[in-house]
Amino acid sequence: MLSIKNLKVKVEGKEILNGIDLEVKAGEVHAIMGPNGSGKSTLAHVLSGRDGYQVAGGEVYFQGENLLELEIEERARKGVFLAMQYPVELPGVNNMTFLRESLNAMRQARGEDEVDAVSFLKLVRQKAKQVELDEKLLKRSVNAGFSGGEKKRNEILQMAVLEPSLAILDETDSGLDIDALRTVANGVNQLRAPQRALIVVTHYQRLLDYIEPDHVHVLVAGRIIRSGGKELALELEERGYGWLLEEEAA
Amino acid sequence: MNERTSLPSGHQQDAQDYIRGLPAGEGWLTGRRQVALSRFAELGYPDTRQEAWRYSSVEGLLQQGFVALDADRNVAEREVRKEFIVEPVAGRLVFVDGLFQPGLSDTETGVEVRLAGLRDAMAVADRQMLEALGFLSGSGDHAFSALNLATMQDGALIRVAAHTKLDRPIELLHVSTGAASGLTLRPRHLIMLEEGASATLIERYISLDEGSYFNNLVCEILLAERSTLRHQRIQQESRQAYHLSEIYIALQADAHYEGVNAAIGGVWSRTRINTRFVATGASCELDGLYLAGDGQLTDFHLDVDHAVPGCVSRENFKGIINGRGRAVFDGRILVREQAQKSSAHLSNANLMLSRQGEIDTKPQLEILADDVQCSHGTTVGQLDPEALYYLRSRGLSEDQAKRLLCLGFASEILERFESDSLRQQLEESIRQQVEAGVVEVA
C-alpha cells in the first residue's frame, strides 16, 4: 500500500530525514518510535503533504501512485489520513459542517453521491459514541476550547467517519490520561481491517499496549535504525533508546 | 475655492425647483426642506481633507453625474416578490427605485403599528407620522443628510404604539431595477417606537439588474422609554451602485437598540451610524460585517455619543477584504464628562484574503468621564496556514477551506441575523466573494 524508498527531507535547509525506507501492506499496523527530534512528526507531515518540507531525495508511492506529486487534499481523497498531534482550533467553523463537507469531498472524489442529512447525522452519532466523544462537541466549533483529550477523540472521530485506507496517528497518545488513551485506542482498533493500514507514531510504548503493532521501527536522527516485531517496543520501554544509539555508533 | 467643495449650481437649482414643485399639502415641510438646502449649500460636498472622508473620496461618485428624477418604472412584481424573506412578517414596505409600492406592500397591521410611505403621508400632511422628520439628521454637519432632507422623495414611516410587542419582523425591502441607472435615489425612513414597544425590522437593499445609481438614504430612529428595536440591515446593491446610508438613533431611558449590518454590494458603499443616548439606562449593540471585493470600497463610520450616565454600548465589526478591495472602519465613541458609569466596548477585526487589498481602521475612544468601563481593539490578519492545511488534509479544496474559515470568521455576526434564509444568502455571498478567483499580482 505504501512504499517509501530512501526518503530524504529538509526543513529550512536542514536535513531532518536522511534515507527512510518503509513498506506498509494493507492490514498491517506499523509503529514508528523514536526519541524527540528524531523526525517522526516530519515523516507524518510529509506523507500528509504539509508545506515547508523539501524532499531532497527518494520516493513515496501510495497504492501505486507517486504520493509526493499530489496536493494535500488529493492525498486525503485517495485515503491518506493524518491524526494530528496538535489539532488546529477553528473558531466559528461548526464541527458537524466540517465533517460533512469533508466526507462529501471524499465521496465526490470517489464518484459517489453526497450523503443526505439524516444518514449523516446517524453515522456521526454512532461514531461519536464509539470514540466516546460528547455529542455536544459536534455542535461546537472545531476543536475550539476542547480539552487535549477531546481534541484527540475528535481526530479519531474524523478518522472513523472518513474511513481512510492509510491512517497515520501522530503522537495521538500525548497528553492523554489512561482512560482517554484506552478509549482512543479502542476507536482506532475498531478501524483495523484487512484493507486498511495504520502507522502509529509515538514516543512511548504505552499506546502500543492497546494498539498492537505488527512491526515496530525505531527512528533516530532521520533514519530507521532498527525494525522488529512488537517485542522491540517492549525492549525500548525497558531499556530506553540509549542502547540502540550505542549499538548504532559501534 | 476648491472645485470639489463648491456646490454645483445646477444641482442647487434642481433642488430648488424640486422643492417648489412639491404638493401644497406639505407646505409646512417646505420650510424644513429650505433650511436643509441652505445647510447643504454651506457645507458643500465633503472632500478627503475632512477626517471622516479621508479614505472615501466622493469624487468618483460626483463624476457619475447622477440626477434626481423619478425612474420610468416597469415593476416586475413577480421578480420583486421572489426577494421577500421566507418567514412570516408583521408588515411589509416595498420600494422600487426609491418609490413606495403599495401593491407589493402589506400595511394592514392594525392600530398598534402604522406603516406608510413617506410620499403618501406628505400628500395628506399626516403630521403624526411626519412631525419628527429631520429631528435627528437635520441641522448636523452631514452634507448628504441635508441634501436628502431637502430633496427626499419617498421612504418608510413606521410607528409602533406604546407597549406593543411584535413577535414577527417588519420587512423593509428596497429594490433597484435597471431603470434606476444614472439616477440618485433619496429614500428617507423614520422609525418610531413608543414607550415600551418592541419590534424587529429587516431592512434590505438589493438590485435586480447590474445598474449604476446612487442610493443616498437616511434613516432616523427614535426609541422611547423602555422600547426595543432589533434592526437587521443588508446592503446588497449592484456591484456598480453607490450606496450611502446615514442612520441616526436616539435612545430614551432604558431603551435598547440591537443593530446588525451587512455591507456586501456596491462599488462604493458607506454606512454611518450615529447613536445618541438621551437618557440613562439605555443600551446599544452594533454588529457588522463587510465584504470588500475587487474594485469595491466599503466604509463604516460609527459615532456613539454617551451624553448621559449609565448607558451601555457594544460594537463588533468584521471585514473580509479580497482582491483590490478597500475597506474603511472608523469607530468613534465619545463618553462625555457627565456620562459616569458608562460601558463601551468596540472591536474591529479584518481578514485580508489578498495582498492588494487595503483596510484603514481607526477605533477612537474619547473618554472624558472617569468612572467608566471602556475598551477597544482592532486586528488585521490573514487566513491561518495551519488551519488551511488542517482542512485540506481532510479532503477539502483550498477554496472550500478558505470559505469555511471565512464563514467561521464571520459567524458571530451572521448568527445575529435571525432569519435562516437571510443567513444562507449571506453565506452564499461570502462563498462567491472568496471564490471570486482574483489573480494575485506578484
pLDDT confidence of B26, banded at 50, 70, 90? low
Minimum mean pLDDT range among A136-140, B134-138, B185-189? B134-138
Q: Considering only alpha carbons, which residue of chain B is nearest residue A162?
A: B394
Contact B386 A92 (CB under 8 A): no
CA–CA distance, B260 with B121 (Å, rounded to integer)? 28
Let me know: does A84 contact A156? Beta carbons within 8 Å. no
pLDDT at B303: 95
B60: left (phi over 0), alpha (psi -120 to 50) or beta: alpha
Confirm or reject contact between A112 and chain B (CB < 8 A): no
* pLDDT tier for residue B99 given thresholds of 50, 70 and 90: very high
What is each CA distance from B413 to A11, B59, B123, B233, in whole angstroms?
40, 32, 40, 12
Residue among B384, B388, B390, B398 with most chain A CBs within 10 A, to mutate: B390
Q: How far is A102 from chain B (nearest CA, A)?
A: 6
- More confident of the two residues A215 and B141: A215
Asked if the C-beta of A178 comes within 8 angstroms of chain B's C-beta atoms, the answer is: no
Q: β-strands B297-306, A29-33: how paired?
A: unpaired
CB contact under 8 A, B395 and A106: yes
8 Å CB contact of B408 and A109: no
Cβ–Cβ under 8 Å, residues B434 and B406: yes
Which of the residue ranges A183-197, B44-58, B360-374 has the most confident prediction, judged by mean pLDDT? B360-374
Q: Could you read off the pLDDT of B420-439 as tens digits, one per residue? A: 999 999 999 888 888 875 54
Query: Cβ of B390 and A98 within 8 Å?
Result: no
What does residue A230 show for φ and ψ, rounded to 5 degrees?
Answer: -65, -25
Rounded average pLDDT over B261-266: 96
User: Cell digits for A48?
Assistant: 500528509
**Residue A45 confidence (pLDDT):** 94
| Mean of pLDDT over chain B | 90
- Which of A50, A75, A105 faces B396 most closely, judged by CB atoms? A105
| B412 to chain A: closest CA residue | A92
Q: How close B396 gets to chain A, by Cα (Å)? A: 6
> Which band of pLDDT confidence, cut at 50, 70 and 90, is reported for residue A250?
low
Residue B257 above 80 pLDDT? yes
Q: What is the largest CA-CA distance in chain A?
A: 62
The pLDDT tens digits of the residues spanning A219-238 come to 988 999 889 898 888 888 88
Mutant choice from A41, A88, A170 vs B, greatest count of B C-beta within 10 A: A88
pLDDT of A34 reads 87
Q: Which residues pair with B321 in a beta bridge?
A: B292, B352
Residue A115 in contact with partner chain B when CB distance is under 8 A: no
By CB atoms closer than 10 A (0-12, 13-18, 19+), residue A97 is: middle
Q: Cβ atoms within 10 A of the Cβ of B388, count?
A: 19
What's the confidence (pLDDT) of residue B65?
85
pLDDT value at residue B137: 85
Q: Is the pLDDT of residue B24 over 60?
A: no
Considering only residues 138 to 157 of chain A, which have any Cβ-Cβ distance to chain B shorter than 8 Å?
Answer: 141
Looking at beta carbons, which residues of chain A come within 8 Å of B412?
92
Contact (CB<8Å) A76/B384: no
| Beta carbons of A93 and B408 less than 8 Å apart | yes
- A17 is written with which cell numbers? 530525514
Query: What's the Cα-to-Cα distance from B137 to each of A221, B220, B234, B276, rounded to whole Å?
Result: 72, 7, 21, 12
Taking one residue from A and the other from B, the number of pairs with CB-CB distance under 8 angstroms is 73
Question: How near does any CA of chain A get to the CA of B397, in Å?
Answer: 6
**β-strands B156-160, A2-11 pairing:** unpaired
What residues of chain B lie within 8 A of the CB of A105, using their CB? 394-397, 400
pLDDT of res. A239: 81
pLDDT of A154 above 50: yes
How many C-beta atoms surround the C-beta of residue A233 within 10 A?
23
> Which of B386, B395, B412 faces A88 most closely, judged by CB atoms?
B386
Question: Are B170 and B158 within 8 A, CB to CB?
Answer: yes
> In chain B, pLDDT over 90 holds for what percent of residues?
68
The counts of H helices and E strands in chain B are 10, 20
Name the nearest CA neighbour of B267 among B218, B210, B203: B210
Give residue B2's pLDDT.
36
pLDDT beyond 50 at B149: yes
Q: Tell me how close the Cα of A235 comes to any Cα of chain B, in angstroms.
A: 34
* Yes or no, beta carbons of A90 and B390 under 8 Å apart: yes
* A49–B contact, CB cutoff 8 A: yes
Q: Which pLDDT score, from 0 to 100, does residue A178 have?
A: 86
Higher pLDDT, B16 or B209: B209
The beta-carbon neighbor of B393 closest among A76, A101, A109 is: A76
Task: Judge contact between B223 and B193, C-beta under 8 A.
Answer: yes
The yes-or-no verdict on residue B360 having pLDDT over 70 is yes
Q: How far is B297 from chain A (nearest CA, A)?
A: 26
**Closest CB from A81, A88, A101 relative to B390:** A88
Convert the pLDDT of each residue in A79-123 to its tens digit.
Answer: 999 999 999 999 999 999 999 999 999 999 999 999 999 999 999
Report how far residue A169's alpha carbon sits from residue A192's, in angstroms, rounded to the nearest whole number.
13
DSSP state of B6: S
Residue B202 has pLDDT above 70, yes or no: yes
Range in A226-235, B282-291, B315-324, B338-347 with the lowest mean pLDDT: A226-235
> Is B259 in contact with B285 (CB distance < 8 Å)?
yes
**Rounded (to 5) percent helix, strand, coil in chain A:** 40, 30, 30
Q: Which triple of cell numbers denotes residue A5? A: 524508498
Note the pLDDT of residue A226.
87
For residue B215, list its beta bridge partners. Answer: B185, B243
Measure in Å the smallest separation between the Cα of A230 and chain B Cα atoms: 29
Percent of chain B scoring above 70 in pLDDT? 91
Q: What is the dihedral of CA B30, B35, B38, B43, to 10 degrees?
A: -130
**Segment A199-204 mean pLDDT:** 89
Interface of A with B in 85-104 (CB under 8 A): 87-88, 90-93, 97-98, 101-102
Question: What tens digit of pLDDT does each residue of A54-66 get?
Answer: 999 999 999 999 9
Judged against a pLDDT cut of 60, whether residue B221 lies above it is answered with yes
Residue B20 pLDDT > 80: no
Alpha carbon B32 to its chain centroid, in Å, reads: 23
What pLDDT score was predicted for residue B270?
97
Cell numbers at residue A249, please? Answer: 555508533
- Nearest CA of chain A to the CA of B287: how many Å? 16
Closest alpha carbon within chain B to A163: B394
Tell me the DSSP string of B339-378: -TT-EEEEEEEEEE-SSS-EEEEEEEEEE--SS-EEEEEE
Q: Which pLDDT band, with edges at 50, 70 and 90, does B319 fall under?
A: very high
Q: What does the block give as the cell for B83?
A: 426577494
Q: Which DSSP letter does residue B8 get?
A: P
- pLDDT for B10 beyond 80: no
Cell of B87: 418567514
Q: Are strands B228-236 and B256-263 parallel, antiparallel or unpaired?
A: parallel
pLDDT category of residue B71 using cuts at 50, 70 and 90: low
* B184-185 and B214-223 beta bridge pairing: parallel
Q: Which residue of B has its CA nearest to A101?
A: B396
Nearest CA to B56 among B360, B332, B317, B352?
A: B360
Residue of chain B minimizing CA distance to A79:
B395
Flag the least confident range among B167-171, B177-181, B270-274: B177-181
Q: ipTM higher than 0.85? A: yes
